[in-house]
Amino acid sequence: MNSLFEFFSFSDPNIRFVVIGSVLLTASSAIVGSFTFLNKKSLVGDAIAHAVLPGICLGFMLSGTKNPVFLIGGAFITGWISLVLVEYITSKTRIKEDTAIGLILSVFFGIGILLLTVIQKSGNAAQSGLDHFLFGKAASLVGDDLYTFAAVAIALLIAVFLFFKEFTLLAFDKDYARAIGLPVKRIELILTSLIVLAVVIGIQAVGVVLMAAILITPAAAARFWTDRVRIMILLASVFGAISGLAGAYISYTAPQMPTGPWIVIVISMIAFVSFFFAPRRGVVSRLLRQYTIRRTINDENILKALYQLGEENKNFFIQRYPDEIIRKRKFEKDNLLKVLKRLRAQGYVESSGNLWGLTEEGKTRGQRVVKIHRLWEMYLTTQLHIAPDHVHEDADTIEHLLTPELEAELERLLDYPKQDPHRSEIPYK
């Protein structure tokens, strides 16, 4: 607890530098990374992160010192060149984008390692710590770094705010953007420059190897929680900031633990939780929804079978043995009894011993399922001109999905037909 209070009091300047720097880097990278993710170019961040290494090395070789201007400038140039080359290879050859990214990534990174080896053997004492760009070292951030990070973060935020509509449109419908006269190439150039800038700054915290995770993972996690771009970007930046803060805290409490990798682990955990437990898109939510749908289909199929049995002698409340229901619609007997008991608890059927029959509520629900089934068969045969013997299976599916609004619209469109294509009566209330 002492370390917790000491850390979050931010009384130590070093803690402030690391926390603010990590939060600025992760949050701003996540914002730009959201558009990379939406453009389905997640691997681009990885290519840039590896391609900046030769630029860093060349910047050091030209200046002879770890001057941030030369290092960042060199990294920006080579990172930007890598994207231009990926675009050129993709457009001018038969090589696909993922292959071009892999090619550029490996070539640039190989050149970077080669130059780094040359620098390490040059005897220049100033090269100490240059290898931190490979794996990052957020714990070594100082006050001067924060000014750079803050300036870049503000620049990224302003650019995203000014071009938000254009970036969003390009992510979802590039052809429409061209059709309305937007300068697509220029907008893509701006977005590319922002991505490169975010990567160039971010590698100082998490390094070349892990930068792609900071760029893409917060956006991927946020996508599970919302369908709205604005909220997704906000969530991505919050997830990025949380990972930066948590990574810095873990590194503080366990000095042997580097900050950058822990930032990636925390954001990966957030993505893992989002993947499984997000309310609408999460795996657990989908499984629960599928389970509910399966239950509903089983319930309605049994009510439908009982209603159809009642149609045979115009008495819908006769109680029947399970075997009679199975002859009308195939069920496993154990599963049938389980569903019948559930329907009895809901008030849709009633029983006497081993006999089961519809209640008034059950008849109403079963009648609606039968009506939708037969209306849909009528729609397919009259509106889409499908043969009557080819419509049953499709109607068997749609009868469980049609909303009351669509049901009413279907009735109006078909002018309330009395019979389906098989001459069966369509039951109305």
Rounded to two decimals, what is the model's pTM?
0.79
Tokens of 86: 């990926």
Average pLDDT, the chain: 86
**Cα–Cα distance between 137 and 17 in angstroms, integer?**
12
Q: What is the pLDDT of residues 238-281, one digit of tens each?
A: 999 998 888 888 877 876 777 778 888 899 999 999 999 998 88
Tell me the torsion sign for CA atoms 24, 29, 32, 37.
Answer: negative
Distance CA 314, CA 11 (A): 83
pLDDT surpasses 70 at 38: yes
Averaged over 302-308, what is the pLDDT?
Answer: 94
Instruction: Confirm if 130 and 201 have CB atoms less than 8 A apart.
Output: no
Q: Residue 45's pLDDT is what?
A: 77
What's the pLDDT score for residue 43?
78
Q: Identify the architecture of domain 282-429 in CATH.
A: Orthogonal Bundle (1.10)
What pLDDT is recorded for position 145?
Answer: 67
Could you report the per-residue pLDDT of 106-145, keeping only the tens digit for each? 898 899 889 888 888 877 666 666 666 666 666 566 666 6
Residue 103 tokens read as 């090619």
pLDDT at 126: 63
The percentage of the chain sitting over the pLDDT mark of 90, rounded to a whole number, equals 39
- Partnered with residue 425 across adjacent β-strands are 419
Q: Do domains 21-216 and 282-429 have the same CATH topology?
A: no
Give how far Cα 257 sits from Cα of 137, 139, 203, 261, 297, Å.
11, 10, 17, 8, 52
Q: Summarize pLDDT for 383-418 with one digit per residue, the tens.
A: 999 998 899 899 999 999 899 999 999 999 999 999
- How do the domains of the chain map onto residue ranges? 21-216, 282-429
pLDDT band per the 50, 70, 90 thresholds, residue 48: confident
Report the CATH number of the 21-216 domain.
Answer: 1.10.3470.10
Pick the closest to residue 274 from 334, 232, 198, 223 (CA basis): 223
**Chain center to CA of 149:** 28
Distance CA 202, CA 75 (A): 11
Confidence of residue 153 (pLDDT cuts 50, 70, 90): confident
User: In the chain, count of helices (H) and strands (E)?
Assistant: 18, 2
pLDDT at 422 over 80: yes
Work out the average pLDDT over 44-73. 81
pLDDT in tens, 71-114: 778 888 888 888 888 888 888 888 888 888 888 888 988 998 89
* Percent of the chain whose pLDDT exceeds 70: 91
**Radius of gyration of the chain, Cα coordinates, nearest whole angstrom:** 31
- Which residue in this structure is represented by tokens 């993709």? 90
Q: How far apart are CA 18 and CA 138, in angstroms?
A: 6
